[in-house]
Structure 1
Amino acid sequence: MLGCVIHGEGDLRVAELPSPQPGPGQVLVDVRYGGVCGSDLHYWRHGGVGDFRLREPMVLGHEVVGTAVTGPLAGLPVAVHPATPCGVCPECADGRANVCRDTRYLGSAARFPHVQGGFAARLAVPAGQLRPLPEGLGLRRAALAEPLSVALHAVRRAGAVAGKHVLVTGAGPIGCLVVAALRAAGAAHVTVTDLLPEALRYAAVAGAGTVVRADDPADSGWPAEVDVAIEASGVAAGLDTCLRLVRRGGVVVQLGMLPPGRSPFAGNLVVSREIELRGAFRFDGEFDEALELLSREPAFDGLISAVVPVRKAEEAFRLAADRSMSCKVLLDFES
């Protein structure tokens, strides 16, 4: 079967891989679509993401959907929850499995040996990680479930957003899905900033009320202040913008993964304005919520900018890395 394996910085290979043999409690899934995530791009371009560095070849991918081959869901379309938390650490016991200290996450170099990912034509995963698709939800749109879950978790970390003005910095795929999640949660107005006009166009498709060029201080769309800010760009300048525009006593959620090492930020504002700065990492129960939301909202289709055959994976990665040309790019494992 074909799979996408990263061997190091800039070294992505589409290779023939052995078909997996399911272990105890595992089921087989024929993968149809896999979404190219920002972390996949970081492994490809930089050999790591954040503090997680490649130390061996790794199959990429954690945004995968397909058809169950074995188990009680055999023959049904399914989405794959990419995390297998340990269930016994203090974080799991506290209901925060998304920050489990011993989790296994598809296509992640956070531990060694690395957890091989889902960018392969067939995948063996624990049966508990499969979710049957809600009625009316096709596999193509369902491929957004994992990144939408990330967005939903970030909005949950922000607290009550209904009726509030929310700023989102960064209009990549995750930022756009944060916009959609905010609108679903009842936010009164969402302002989005980015450097690229095309990215801002996708933010508008997702439901942004105002879009602003981040490099244009004279843009009339800049708000005087906002109630909540979610930083989705993964750059220190985005966090600085959030801290300067959120109201006193407001909440800032850092969702974008900042570069490894130290990142400067306006800590004096956190103190003098009593701003609450919260991190948001992955998700847990939001996965089921994401599938339900996707089944109700066909507008999400507008965020899928391209579907590329797996044999052209590097072309797909180049397209996904060019935010002036794309939003969410999917690999098709049946093409």
Structure 2
Amino acid sequence: MFGCVIHGRGDLRVDELPVPSPGPGQALVAVRYGGVCGSDLHYWRHGGVGDFRLREPMVLGHEVVGTVLSYGAGASGPVAGTPVAVHPATPCGVCPECVDGRANVCRDTRYLGSAARTPHVQGAFAAQVVVPAGQLRALPSGLGLTRAALAEPLSVALHAVRRAGAVAGRHVLVTGAGPIGCLVVAAVKAAGAARVTVTDLLPRALEYAVAAGADSVVRADDAAGPGWPQEVDVAIEASGVAAGLDTCLRLVRRGGVVVQLGMLPSGQSPFAGNLVVSREIELRGAFRFDVEFDEALALLAGEPRFDALISAVVPLGEAEAGFALAADRSRSCKVLLDFGTHNS
């Protein structure tokens, strides 16, 4: 079979891989679609993401959907042929964070397509993949595989909204209108936000934000332009740059909440820390997700608006072109790789 493997910075290949067999407790899935995530792009362009650096070839991908093929000994789940989404995390279940109900920050988790540990955890951008059977989720009625491929990034957005607290009836600022930022917009609207303002540097990205449900959008580099709010109740930083965090801290009301969702560059990042003190702003981090995965699938099943965020579906054989498109935010939002032709 074939898969999408990163060998180093700028070295992305479609390699022939051995066909896996499910072991005890495992399921074998025929992957149909995989969403290209910002972390996949970082591995491709920079050889790592945040503090996680590539040390060996790694199959990329953690946003995958497909159909069940078979199970290993002692494993059970949706019957063969069932369309499923794959939850990409395998927390340890015993560390203090897991015991405290915060498995998303498990100190010993395994996450598909991650270089956080060595050997790396191989990802799911392959025609077939083996995963723990408990990580399969049958798709709700009416949810097709294409839209279901948004479940993992939408889960990230839903977790950020949960970290923000009550947003119903409030004005929410989202800095950054990439795929995650746009899904945050959809998530806060679903949670009852009265108004959502989005900032970004790119006009096309702001168009996607409007498609996701933004009430107003503003150019991040046009401080004098119309649409800038004087104050917001909650701010979610989804751009992953220090300037976005600075904007959130300066616009959120006194006593408001800022959620840092975008992964900032490794090392130190400057920010207006004095505002956290003088305005008693609550600055909260948001990392990955846990139980939000099932919530994401339910939300996707009932909202066709999400389809507008899928910019393109690219065959696996053209993976590098797909990555280049996903990296060009002036042309795309979410790009999917299609593994269907490699499953026959």
1:166 is aligned, of 172, 175, 181, to 172
For 1:66, the equivalent position in structure 2 comes to 66
Deviation at 1:24, TM superposition (A): 1.4
- Pairing 1:114–2:120 present: yes
- Pairing 1:225–2:231 present: yes
- Pairing 1:56–2:62 present: no
1:241-285 Cα offsets, whole Å, 9 max, x none, are: 000000000000000000000000000000000000000000000
For 2:95, the equivalent position in structure 1 comes to 89
Range with bigger deviation, 281-290 or 67-76: 67-76
Moved over 6 A (4+): none
1:312 is aligned, of 297, 303, 318, to 318
1:239 is aligned, of 234, 242, 245, to 245
Structure 1: gaps (5+ residues)? none
Deviation at 1:334, TM superposition (A): 1.2
Tell me the distance in 2 between the aligned counterparts of 1:136 and 1:271: 48
**3-state DSSP class of the match of 1:178?**
helix
For 1:191, the equivalent position in structure 2 comes to 197
Deviation at 1:109, TM superposition (A): 0.4
Query: Counterparts of 1:1-335 in structure 2 under 5 Å?
Result: 1-71=1-71, 72-73=77-78, 74-335=80-341
Deviation at 1:322, TM superposition (A): 0.1
Tell me the distance in 1 between the aligned counterparts of 2:97 and 2:327: 34
**3-state DSSP class of the match of 1:70?**
strand
Deviation at 1:302, TM superposition (A): 0.4
Tell me the distance in 2 between the aligned counterparts of 1:51 and 1:274: 30
Deviation at 1:22, TM superposition (A): 1.3
RMSD: 0.5
Deviation at 1:21, TM superposition (A): 1.7
1:71-114 Cα offsets, whole Å, 9 max, x none, are: 44211000000000000000000000000000000000001100
For 2:74, the equivalent position in structure 1 comes to none
**3-state DSSP class of the match of 1:234?**
coil
Tell me the distance in 1 between the aligned counterparts of 2:52 and 2:172: 31
Structure 2: gaps (5+ residues)? 72-76
**3-state DSSP class of the match of 2:250?**
helix
Matched residue type, 2:53? R
Matched residue type, 2:153? P
1:115-138 Cα offsets, whole Å, 9 max, x none, are: 000000000000000000000000
Tell me the distance in 1 between the aligned counterparts of 2:2 and 2:198: 38
Structure 2 length normalisation: TM-score? 0.97
Matched residue type, 1:241? T
Structure 1 length normalisation: TM-score? 1.00
Tell me the distance in 2 between the aligned counterparts of 1:17 and 1:334: 16
Tell me the distance in 1 between the aligned counterparts of 2:216 and 2:305: 18
Deviation at 1:70, TM superposition (A): 1.1
Give me the identity figure in percent.
84
Tell me the distance in 1 between the aligned counterparts of 2:7 and 2:95: 32
Tell me the distance in 2 between the aligned counterparts of 1:192 and 1:324: 16
Tell me the distance in 2 between the aligned counterparts of 1:299 and 1:229: 23
Tell me the distance in 1 between the aligned counterparts of 2:63 and 2:224: 38
Tell me the distance in 1 between the aligned counterparts of 2:167 and 2:206: 22
